[in-house]
A and B are shown apart, each in its own frame.
Chain A
């Protein structure tokens, strides 16, 4: 049995809401997740804005401490690691954020930033560090000469996102957590970054967790998908199976509402099974049972209890009482 790189066991994160934070609602609610087995793979986490996918990413990056549940790294609680283990954790798990401008310090040249990252984390001397950086930059399609002496604001958005991928790959991590890495970029540049992530897996053997609201790009690079709704994972498994045969009512709605130019006006004929969303979201967040209950056309009395993850077919699981026998 391989110990997963990152494992979340019933992890929840509560945030305060209201005037003095008296109402506490879960942004992440009882999530179980395993990442990183024997082979590197590209995983995708898909959900609408506000569903808690970024919070989940921050928990996995050891930026946020879960309110309850355990986040494990190599089988150990992430927040009870020794200093040396924390160091190894940072080398193994690297982030790429949505806005590349946030990744770099505006007052420091990108080159010195990369060098200090390589030296601090990998304990290389200056020469080795430069070599490593040159290699990584070549992989993302840039050269050291192009980068030398420049500050972040002198690069375009696409270049900067390449640089932040290079920065993350510098330490050759086992897992890259990319939170909406292309949503700030223009359509014509997006696909290049996605191709880059795809080849990072081949080149460095890095697993990638790609977090997005866009199912089409998720399908493009992903092998496995997690669909998140209001803080819980509602469906997971092989991406082709989930997209071709969605099980959870929410996944179906999500797929049906994705615009596709190939359909033209015909797209509007696809009816969504739900009525309008008039419920205030926090109320949904506080639900104990299935959070989709207000919209679900198939709801039963059982749905007021929290649904458990059921394996319907091989590598295709869903958290819905409909499939419970």
Chain B
């Protein structure tokens, strides 16, 4: 894959955000810089509470108290304009960016559908709000979109409660893709589904992604899902991105000790050899440890790790890691 700068769809630069709870500030996204490219599937991995969902919210601009963005810039490049998302007001985001250029599928999205109105009415409502095509055309497009995701025509006339979780999740995805966005943010789209349904959903999502060529950001805690589904992965730990790289390389040769532990501790089918996990627990983000945030659990921790925060360095093209082990000199 070529990672060229003019192919960047979203440039996240030094974004800092967190939750203000009373006098405490929970540092959930701490100086994150990231570039997302056109047409890629980018996976955001990490444990619960590491800030991956918060990062998605900040990217989308869905910032409601207690969440607060402190600093940083987000630049979205569409075909004919450059939008500085961090400068837009809620109203402008709603009018110009959401649904058209960028959509967000929040966690547990399958329960957002209104159980008392039919599936087709969800679509009609969406079209009413964002475009002015007539009802028959809406019906045709809806059928087309749902069929692309492997749902039959009957589903359109059903009520959401009559459908299974996997089907509802697909309807939400179809809604998100309605206006051909260039960036889709999916937060744990399959975590509530069982493995068989998960496989079917991932298959169809990947097919649609390839056909339409949008950029998909997938947040998941499941490393195996990342391994099969994504092109590139970013690993987050305690509010920071610690490693970014292409999926193959990341799994073949993880660099950061945390990534190593995360991959090394996965049990495999047909392999009963003893695996070791990490000791300790992730830090409290209201009071993160000084220096590298991983050092209390790191088996390779050095003196400098306890004092200073590691710089983010580029080991090779498109492969970055934030760890003192790789700083030379």
Contact = CB atoms under 8 A, between A and B. Distances in A.
Interface of A: 48-49, 156-159, 186-192, 194-195, 213, 215-217, 219-220, 240, 243-244, 253-265, 267-268, 272, 276-278, 280-281
B248 A277 contact: no
Given A157-B281, A217-B267, A259 B199 contact: yes
Interface stretch (B62-70, B91-99, B159-167): B159-167
Contacts of A260: 224, 227-228, 268-269
B286 to A, nearest CB: 14
Contact of A192 (B198, B262, B277): B277
Contacts, number: 134
Given A159-B281, A261-B227, A278-B152, A191 B272 contact: no
Given A276-B200, A277-B166, A261 B223 contact: yes
Residue among A191, A261, A272 with the most chain B CB within 10 A? A261
Given A220-B271, A268-B203, 15 more contacts: A48-B194, A157-B281, A188-B47, A188-B258, A188-B261, A219-B270, A219-B272, A220-B275, A243-B269, A257-B196, A259-B227, A260-B268, A264-B227, A264-B248, A277-B166
A230 to B, nearest CB: 12
B268 A277 contact: no
Contacts of B228: 259-261, 263-265, 267-268
A244 B270 CA distance: 8
- Candidate in A188, A258, A272 with the most chain B CB atoms within 10 angstroms: A188
Nearest to B274: A195
Contact of B275 (A156, A157, A191, A257): A191
B209 to A, nearest CB: 12
Contact of B48 (A159, A186, A263): A186
B226 interface: yes
Interface string B193-233: 01111111011001000000000000001111111110000
In the complex, the 7 A-B pairs of residues with the closest C-beta atoms, listed nearest first: A261-B227, A48-B194, A220-B267, A186-B47, A191-B277, A257-B199, A259-B224
A244 B227 CA distance: 22
Contacts of B247: 264
Nearest to A156: B281
B277 A280 contact: no
Contact of B227 (A190, A220, A262): A262
10 contacts: A187-B47, A187-B221, A194-B267, A217-B267, A243-B269, A253-B196, A255-B269, A258-B195, A259-B199, A272-B199
Contact of B268 (A158, A216, A256, A278): A216
B269 A187 contact: no
Contacts of B166: 277
Nearest to B297: A188
Interface centre among B47, B164, B269, B272 (most CB of A within 10 A): B269
B288 interface: no
